[in-house]
Amino acid sequence: MEIKDIKKTKYGYNVYSEGLKTNIEEKVFYKYKLKKGMTIKDNLWQEILKENKPEFIKRKALTYLTRQRSTKEFITYLYKLEASKSLTKQLTEEFTTKGYLDDYLYAQSVIKKEQKRYGKNKIKEILINKGIKNEIITNLLNEHIDNNLENQIIRDCKTIKASNYNEATNKLLRRFIRKGYKLNDIKRYINKHLDKNKFNESEEIKKHYQNALKRYEKKYKDKELNLKIKQNLYSKGFKKELIDKVVRGE
């Protein structure tokens, strides 16, 4: 093949030949002293391409590591680039030795970032998914305290939308359990900061009573209708004595 043209790129050179464009990494380009008008035998060109691929992968890998990554993330990225197992092992060992890959420091940065919005259990789950070894997780989270939980609950207690205290409590419990906080800690702070006077349950029950009445009155009558409505209101967390008063029309 004959090189028809060459153009410099940010990471190497575009080599044009017979309507084809091939990006050659700078190191490979200078090794083979490529130039316009040069004729290259097919076997030599294949050799150039074979050497070019790992150089391309190494460059992409270094760019990928401009942000902190776990070893698992790095290896997954190399597989996406179709790196061979031997090259993957070589680059992983090389970059670990140079300090570009450090799962301990990576895990520390994840904890620092995620502890603002997640609890210990959720953070542990995140680290496991990132491929961090159990001994690193245990070491870093052994004495971890969820310092941000109370402030989050204070904020959410002010904005939670619910018909009654029980519904609000259950919503908050589910929300913070999903975030990985401990159940006892969640309950303690909800009990401390959720204002029961925030909810006018009697008025809310009346609204839900009317909705339930419309839903069931065509299918049920008398005692059966009242029972069905009560069950509906019980399921929403309203207090039994208030439900009974509304159903009796008091």
> Over the chain (250 residues), what is each successive 10-residue block's mean pLDDT?
92 90 95 93 94 96 96 97 96 97 97 94 97 96 93 94 87 95 95 85 72 79 80 77 70
Q: Contact, 22 vs 32, CB < 8 A?
A: no
* pLDDT score recorded for residue 164: 83
Please calculate the CA angle 128-134-138 and round it to the nearest 5 degrees.
105
* pLDDT score recorded for residue 171: 92
Rounded Cα distance, 25 and 13, in Å: 7
Q: Return left, alpha or beta for 239; rule: phi > 0 is left, psi -120 to 50 is alpha, else beta.
A: beta
* pLDDT score recorded for residue 12: 94
* pLDDT score recorded for residue 201: 67
* pLDDT score recorded for residue 240: 77
* pLDDT score recorded for residue 229: 80
Q: Return left, alpha or beta for 220; rule: phi > 0 is left, psi -120 to 50 is alpha, else beta.
A: beta
* pLDDT score recorded for residue 212: 78
* pLDDT score recorded for residue 40: 93
The amino acid present at 234, given as its one-letter code, is Y
For β-strands 20-25 and 5-8, DSSP reports them as unpaired
Q: Contact, 179 vs 119, CB < 8 A?
A: yes
Query: How many CA atoms does the CB half-sphere of 110 hold within 13 Å?
Result: 26
* pLDDT score recorded for residue 200: 67
* pLDDT score recorded for residue 98: 96
Rounded Cα distance, 100 and 92, in Å: 9
Q: Contact, 95 vs 78, CB < 8 A?
A: no
Q: Contact, 76 vs 46, CB < 8 A?
A: no
Tokens matching residue 175: 């929300």
14 SS3 class: strand
